[in-house]
Amino acid sequence: MGDITASSCSPNKPKNKKTSEKDDGDFRTYDVTTTSDRVIEHYRAMRANQTLAFHAKMSDKYKFDPVTGAGRRLMTMEDAFDQLESYVDSSDPDLDLPNRVHLLQTAEGIRRAGQPDWMQVVGLIHDMGKIMFLWGEDEDGQNGVDPDGHQWALGGDTWILGCEIPESVVFPQFNALNVDMQDEICKSKYGIYSPNCGLNALKCAWGHDEYMYRMLIANKCTIPPEGLAIIRYHSLYPWHSNNAYSHLTNNQDEETKGWVQQFNAFDLYTKDEENELHVESLWNYYYPLLEKYGLGGQLWW
């Protein structure tokens, strides 16, 4: 892979304030008067289209063979990393950089903080599920090739499908657009679930988190369970940042939340448009860690 610097912004996207000048409270600010139209429209479409039926459709589209783990395409992590060089997340109000720069910034922040190597790996790969754009279409909300393509099933804050959508989601005024909220069961407090059934029984809005979790399981990676949970739930902000869904989660999920919250600080506050990174030299450090956790060589995606 060639070198890339964090100052290589997409010319088709508006630049935000330098993230190095931001205070913590300046991150993740969503307001219809100040947030870009790109981000607002992303969440409008996401809330309208992410339903139980859509989740079932995506689960089928991106299923892995239960015996062999085979998926759509064999690629190394390095190959997938290169594919993300041109991908810019349309749901992010803080940064307009290729996604792989954000991944390296997150991993490096975790490494500098002296966190265990498995969490460094999680930082490096946590958003790589956005590789779904390779097979995505506008109608599926996964066209990440076209700068103006839909991405509402690739990135963005998730919530639990099949039950009442909490007011703590981003832009709650869009909740009524969701067709499931016309169903008496789906719009109720518990919805289709049992009290305190646990996170594993819940269905999140489809995106890179769930896909990447399934991809790692299919490839039999050895990242610890808490690391896999971080990857699966790091976009579920109503739960880990606003304490929604306590009536559906259980005691084990509270421990998981602690790990996700710890990771979230690195995912959010390491974003910096002026932090120059040299991918080639960093890859020499991270690739042995990927091999350690069963993610070296050709993998199914």
pLDDT, one tens digit per residue, over 169-227 is: 999 999 999 999 999 999 999 999 999 999 999 999 999 999 999 999 999 999 999 99
The region of weakest confidence among 4-8, 29-33, 160-164, 209-213 is 4-8
If you average pLDDT over every residue of the chain, what do you get? Answer: 87
pLDDT at 281: 84
| Contact present, 7 and 274 (Cβ < 8 Å) | yes
Q: Which of 297, 279, 272 is nearest to 17 (CA)?
A: 272
Rounded CA-CA distance 30/40 in Å is 8
Q: Which helix (H) or strand (E) holds 300?
A: strand 299-300
